[in-house]
Amino acid sequence: MIIIGTFRHSIELEQALVKLEKIGIAQNQLLVVCMDSDAKEYVSAKQKKEDSYSKGIEVGLACATALSVIGTSVGFIMPWGPIISGLAAAFIGFGIGFGIIVIIQKPKIRHSKKSPEVTVIVQCDADQSELVQKAMWTNHALAVGLAYASTE
């Protein structure tokens, strides 16, 4: 019988392994695998940077619209006229809006505080399976699965 459990890398994992050895599970019947989570952190950091630029463009366009309306209105009394004043105000507004989001609020790369998961695979007899599962659940396993292996 094969029992698979997943744990956070913590003291509970160590306690579960000690309990499994006390039950009578030999070390050659245990397989402990630490799962890698660096790829997910890299993708999320790159995604946050791209989100910052798209948010900067959105805010920049909103500020450009607002300032171009004000610039056009003021342009009727300015010597440049409403068109030039509106375009100049739009460029200034876009620069301000984009600058606030992208330059001042630089994207921060946050590393996950979540510890990596560890998978424990135990090969045991059918009469030990309930004790192994209980040992895993009492030590805060995230999930426990049971597989029946054929002995051919």
The continuous run of DSSP H or E covering 16 comes out as helix 11-23
> pTM, whole model, 2 decimals?
0.50
CB 13 within 8 A of CB 139: yes
How does residue 150 score in pLDDT terms, banded at 50, 70 and 90?
A: low
**Does residue 64 have a pLDDT over 70?**
yes
Residue 38: per-residue pLDDT: 60
The continuous run of DSSP H or E covering 2 comes out as strand 2-8
For 2-37+114-147, CATH gives 3.30.70.260
How does residue 37 score in pLDDT terms, banded at 50, 70 and 90?
A: low
**Whole-angstrom distance, CA of residue 109 vs CA of residue 135:** 38
CB 91 within 8 A of CB 85: no
Q: With H, G, I as helix, E, B as strand and everything else as coil, classify residue 57.
A: helix
What confidence tens digit (pLDDT) does each residue in 65-100 have? Answer: 999 999 999 999 988 899 999 999 999 999 999 888
**Whole-angstrom distance, CA of residue 110 vs CA of residue 22:** 40
What confidence tens digit (pLDDT) does each residue in 109-126 have? Answer: 554 556 678 899 998 888
What is the Cβ-side half-sphere exposure of residue 139, based on CA atoms within 13 angstroms?
Answer: 24
| Cα–chain center distance at 64 | 33
**Does residue 55 have a pLDDT over 90?**
no
Task: Give, in order, the Cα–Cα distances in Å from 66 to each of 28, 70, 85, 101.
Answer: 70, 7, 13, 17
How does residue 43 score in pLDDT terms, banded at 50, 70 and 90?
A: low
Average pLDDT over residues 127-139: 88
Residue 71: per-residue pLDDT: 92
Domain boundaries, the chain: 2-37+114-147, 38-104
